[in-house]
Amino acid sequence: MRVLVAMSGGVDSSVAAARMVADGHDVVGVHLALNRNPQAYRSGARGCCSLEDSLDARRVADTLGIPFYVWDLSERFAADVVDDFVAEYAAGRTPNPCLRCNEKIKFSAVLERGLALGFDAVATGHYARLDGEGEQARLWRAADAAKDQSYVLGVLTHAQLRRSLFPLYGTVKADVRAEAEALGLRTAHKPDSHDICFIPDGDTAGFLSRALGEREGDIVDTAGRVVGFHSGHHQFTVGQRRGLHLGVPAEDGQPRYVLGISPVTNTVTVGPQEGLAITRIDGIRPTWAVPKPRLGQWRGLVQVRAHGAPLPATIDADADTITVTLDEPAYGIAPGQAAVTYDGDLVVGASTIAAAR
């Protein structure tokens, strides 16, 4: 096959590329330039889009003896991921930009461009198992549960999955590093990236304040009493406990959490943990990782954040919406995040959380 490998400059995609070469595919590496000003970033260790990362990816491609190119997708990334990220926060929701990037950039813009140019598939360094070909393609959780990234791939449609390859699926991270070391790849000991790549200093609240401006508002309790002030509702996420700086102590002496965000009134509501208990999730814009939408009512698992636990649930789906009823209450479920549904370890589909109660 002719395979396009998305090479971020990290160890995972480096080994993914190496394995594609070892499997005998005709491999081309492509680094996605996503940030408009990659030189601005100091270090390659904490993002996936700096100039250093691009050079690391290029040197790995040199070592593997494969062609390598940089594709400038910064305009699309800014429009589809960064602007969306800011708009979602402005609307009081909590988006997942990595998921959005997979959906709109890696497995959409890049995949489609690659297919048009004559490639058969796009490979990435994600940890997830994809087996079966064509109609039989199915996405499963990775062997390394700690690194499993099936959640951020849950937004892919079956049509996209048919053209995707995840060569790392059966490997644990330590073995990936050892393999990179044995191959002499210079990314073997590069630290993992954890932050949002376009917020390299990790200060999401500061980034949002720069993008949206600061506007003072009230923090209220569930009875509507003002218990504090904030400088912009976008600095909060449902389920957040730290950094509330409340002036009035809770009557029951228990910690308080962000229960809700109202962008219209610029109000953040806080309350005890019980107020976060969720048993029902309404999802919109469902996508399906399986060939046919699994409509109607069925038993399965749902995951609502990147490193969250799978929660047993009853799922009720139609063409436009999904309703998830959890067996046990869950806490800190934020609108805007994706609810990815599983059948055991099989990824079934995803939808965006519109409401949770």
Spatial separation of the C-alpha atoms in residues 89 and 101, rounded to whole Å:
16
| Crossing angle (nearest 10°) for helices 173-183 and 11-22 | 70
Query: Is 80 annotated for ligand binding?
Result: no
Spatial separation of the C-alpha atoms in residues 158 and 181, rounded to whole Å:
34
**What minimum distance in Å lies between the beta carbon of 145 and another protein?**
35
The neighbour count for residue 254, using CB atoms within 10 Å, is 11
**What minimum distance in Å lies between the beta carbon of 121 and another protein?**
15
Residue whose CB is less far from another protein, 36 or 173: 36
Query: Is 239 annotated for ligand binding?
Result: no
Residue 98 is among the residues annotated as catalytic for this protein: no
Spatial separation of the C-alpha atoms in residues 233 and 209, rounded to whole Å:
10
Residue 101 is among the residues annotated as catalytic for this protein: yes
Looking at this protein, which amino acid is placed at residue 71?
A: W
Query: Is 6 annotated for ligand binding?
Result: yes
Residue whose CB is less far from another protein, 164 or 269: 164
Beta-carbon contacts of residue 80 (< 8 Å; ≥ 6 apart): 100, 104, 105
Catalytic entry in 48, 49, 98, 101 = 101
Spatial separation of the C-alpha atoms in residues 156 and 105, rounded to whole Å:
11
**What minimum distance in Å lies between the beta carbon of 347 and another protein?**
25
Query: Is 9 annotated for ligand binding?
Result: yes
Residue whose CB is less far from another protein, 76 or 173: 76
3-state secondary structure of 110: helix
Nearest to 168 by CA among 156, 158, 155, 153: 153
Residue 349, judged by CB atoms within 10 A of its CB (0-12, 13-18, 19+), counts as buried
Residue whose CB is less far from another protein, 71 or 298: 71
The residues binding another protein (CB under 8 A) are 28, 31, 33, 38-39, 51, 54, 58, 67, 69-72, 109, 112-113, 116-118
Residue whose CB is less far from another protein, 38 or 271: 38
Residue whose CB is less far from another protein, 32 or 290: 32
**What minimum distance in Å lies between the beta carbon of 35 and another protein?**
10
Looking at this protein, which amino acid is placed at residue 266?
A: N
| Burial 54-65, CB ≥16 within 10 A → b, else e | bebbbbbbebbe
Query: Is 260 annotated for ligand binding?
Result: no
Catalytic entry in 48, 49, 98, 197 = 197
CA-based max dimension of the chain: 67
Q: Positive or negative CA dihedral for 210, 215, 221, 227?
A: positive
**What minimum distance in Å lies between the beta carbon of 31 and another protein?**
7
* CA contacts within 13 A on the Cβ side of 246: 23
**What minimum distance in Å lies between the beta carbon of 30 and another protein?**
9
- Give alpha helix (H) positions in 106-170: 111-116, 150-153, 158-161
Spatial separation of the C-alpha atoms in residues 165 and 173, rounded to whole Å:
18
**Sequence ranges of the binding site for ATP:** 6-13, 32, 125
Binding site feature residues: 6-13, 32, 125
What residues are labeled active site?
A: 101, 197
